[in-house]
């Protein structure tokens, strides 16, 4: 009986993953933000300064710096911006409310959303690496790919959960994209995603290091810059996992199915995480 139930739960999660992935692929906005935007920035920034070397990174070529940076930006688009906008849009258009009336448990829906974001992230990162290797002479070695994958896997998990948490406090679909980019772009700039900062004050560097983006992107950039093995310090791991845990708690407390912003305690009592939901009125 338990084996059959486990298979049923796994099939439910797999079905939801396929459904959410098809929605993302068919969405022009998702395709543009996740696939097109990082590639456009990668090409544009390389063309603007094709022969420039970065003294802040010991003469590192722009292409070698931008490859892990734009791969990280692709992860942000897939696992943060896309989750914020898609969840808010689905809720405010009543799609989540209709799903809430089905036997679908919350965990299966979230697994589908996050899993689809991971797949889109992998596709976008692969496109960035391919363009860098073909057109900008970036050496895509196994060590570099492994280090980038290690950083982005942690970042994808953290920013997916953070996206779910942020989506719970946005109540209008037309403001979800500006708010998503309005929160992540300043963080990207102070975390040296687009260009390394050589004149930033010490306090700003400490602020950047206290958010989860800097601990994710800097180890990846170091692998491409110095050719060293991927390493993440205990402090960096602690920052990433602290933000991931806090985001999970916030998502558990404040995620809601219906449009608007209901009281969080009423939302928590309406959940069913680990099995099909059963409405009392359906038993009457």
- State residue 50's pLDDT score: 62
Handedness of CA 175, 178, 181, 185 (dihedral sign): negative
| Three-class SS state of 66 | helix
Which parts of the chain have pLDDT scores under 50? 1-2, 263-284
C-alpha atoms less than 13 angstroms from C-alpha of 198 in its C-beta half-sphere = 5
| Three-class SS state of 113 | helix
Handedness of CA 88, 162, 184, 48 (dihedral sign): negative
- State residue 262's pLDDT score: 53
* pTM of this structure: 0.85
- State residue 77's pLDDT score: 95
Distance CA 37, CA 16 (A): 27
- State residue 179's pLDDT score: 94
Neighbours of 150 (CB within 10 A): 17
In contact, 84 and 92? CB cutoff 8 Å: no
- State residue 183's pLDDT score: 94
C-alpha atoms less than 13 angstroms from C-alpha of 150 in its C-beta half-sphere = 18
In contact, 113 and 221? CB cutoff 8 Å: no
- State residue 134's pLDDT score: 94
- State residue 279's pLDDT score: 42
Burial class (CB in 10 A: 0-12, 13-18, 19+), 18: middle
Q: What angle do CA 49, 218, 131 make, to 5 degrees?
A: 45
Nearest to 198 by CA among 72, 54, 48: 54
- State residue 57's pLDDT score: 61
**Domain boundaries along the sequence of the chain:** 27-276
Neighbours of 157 (CB within 10 A): 19
- State residue 56's pLDDT score: 61
Please name the residues in contact with 268: beta carbons below 8 A apart, sequence gap of 6 or more. 252, 253
Q: pLDDT tens-digit profile of 85-119?
A: 999 998 988 888 887 777 777 778 888 888 999 99
- State residue 58's pLDDT score: 63
């Amino acid at each position: 009986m338990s084996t059959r139930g486990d298979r049923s739960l796994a099939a439910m999660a797999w079905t939801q993953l396929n459904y959410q992935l098809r929605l993302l692929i068919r969405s022009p906005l998702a395709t543009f933000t996740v696939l097109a935007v990082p590639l456009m920035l990668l090409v544009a920034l390389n063309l603007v300064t094709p022969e420039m070397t970065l003294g802040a990174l010991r003469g590192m070529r722009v292409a070698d710096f931008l490859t892990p940076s734009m791969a990280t930006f692709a992860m942000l688009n897939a696992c943060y911006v896309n989750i914020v906008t898609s969840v808010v849009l689905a809720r405010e258009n009543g799609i989540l409310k209709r799903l809430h009336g089905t036997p679908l448990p919350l965990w299966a829906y979230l697994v589908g959303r996050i899993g689809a974001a991971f797949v889109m992230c992998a596709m976008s990162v692969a496109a960035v690496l391919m363009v860098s290797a073909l057109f900008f002479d970036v050496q895509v070695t196994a060590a570099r790919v492994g280090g980038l994958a290690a950083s982005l896997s942690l970042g994808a998990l953290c920013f997916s959960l953070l996206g779910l948490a942020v989506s719970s406090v946005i109540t209008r679909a037309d403001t979800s994209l500006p708010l998503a980019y309005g929160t992540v772009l300043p963080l990207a700039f102070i975390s040296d995603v687009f260009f390394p900062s050589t004149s930033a004050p010490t306090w700003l560097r400490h602020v950047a290091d206290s958010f989860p983006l800097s601990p994710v992107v800097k180890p990846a950039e170091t692998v491409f810059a110095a050719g060293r093995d991927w390493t993440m310090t205990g402090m960096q791991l602690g920052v990433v996992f602290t933000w991931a845990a806090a985001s999970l708690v916030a998502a558990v407390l404040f995620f809601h199915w219906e449009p608007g912003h209901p009281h969080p305690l009423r939302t928590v009592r309406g959940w069913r995480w680990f099995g099909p939901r059963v409405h009392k009125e359906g038993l009457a």
